[in-house]
Amino acid sequence: MSHVSTPAPQGQPPLHTVQVLGGGSAGSSAHVRSLSTGLAARGVRVTVCAPAEADEAYDFAGTGAHHVAVPRRSDPASVAALRAACADADLVHAHGL
């Protein structure tokens, strides 16, 4: 199966999607890695917000995504990191959060 990159319309920035992992279970982490790979291959700007240990295990940056380390807490610092990462997103897709 070939992947065709669809560029953004001329003069417009590429779409930006944020994938958010809460618990980072093996199933949801593998799913986010797969989504990130496909989206990045199609020219979508992808950010993955996940605990550092999930990125170490699943190498989200290796898919072409930008990783933002967000601890598995609901403290103000974690909420602020998520808010900043999602500020310019066209789509936020949350998994287990």
Domain ranges of the chain: 20-95
* Cα separation, 84 vs 56, whole angstroms: 22
Q: Is the pLDDT of residue 9 over 70?
A: no
Q: Quick one: pLDDT at residue 75?
A: 80
As a whole number, mean pLDDT of residues 81-95 equals 94
Contacts with 1 (C-beta within 8 Å, 6 or more apart), sequence order: none
Query: Exposed/middle/buried for 3, CB within 10 Å: 0-12, 13-18, 19+?
Result: exposed
Full-model pTM: 0.83
How many angstroms separate the CA atoms of 7 and 61, rounded? 21
pLDDT at 62 over 80: yes
* Burial classification of residue 46, based on how many CB atoms lie within 10 Å of its CB (0-12 exposed, 13-18 middle, 19 or more buried): buried
